[in-house]
Amino acid sequence: MTVTIGKKGYLSAREINALHQQGHTIGSHTWDHPRIQGEDSLPDANRQLRQSKATLEKITGAPVTCLAYPFGSWNEATVSQLQKAGFHLAFQLSSRRASRLPQYTIRRIMVDGRWQGQRLLAAIRQSF
């Protein structure tokens, strides 16, 4: 969320740029993490998508083409907004990858830092 950049407990612009310089991919998580529900698309897509994207691009000096959906949920109206805003990939938590929109429904999982390798592999297998 770009609204939190520089706030206590969150990354600063300098830290984000350092991560980028070290080879990490910097992606958006919207401006302030709105909930996507039902058939509604992202509220205020200009701010949530374009402004957050522009903020990160200004910090890194590089294109931002990935997004992780807030709360991991998505819908087709939101995918349309992502495409218009110039995003090429999006990551979700809520369902299996959609065959019609594979690059906008890449499945991710929440990993507990205490998991051992076998537990992580089991979670990955269950997700796909």
Work out whether strand 89-92 and strand 106-107 pair parallel, antiparallel, or are unpaired. parallel
- List the one residue out of 10, 115, 18, 120 whose CA is nearest residue 60: 18
Sheet holding 66-68, edge to edge: 66-68, 89-92, 106-107
- Which residue type occupies 80? S
The CATH code of the domain that includes 56 is: 3.20.20.370
- Neighbouring CB atoms inside 10 A of 68's CB total 17
Question: C-alpha angle 38/109/96, rounded to 5°?
Answer: 50
Each residue's pLDDT tens digit in the chain (128 positions)?
A: 999 999 999 999 999 999 999 999 999 999 999 987 666 677 788 889 999 999 999 999 999 999 999 999 888 888 989 999 999 999 998 787 888 899 999 988 888 889 999 999 998 888 76
What is the domain range of residue 51? 2-127
**How many other CB atoms are there within 10 angstroms of residue 128's CB atom?**
8
Q: What pLDDT does 109 receive?
A: 86
CB atoms within 10 A of CB 97: 15
Domain count, the chain: 1
DSSP E strand boundaries for the chain = 66-68, 89-92, 106-107
List the Cα angle 66/30/27 in 5-degree steps: 25
Scan for tokens 């590089």, then name that residue.
62
DSSP code of 10? S
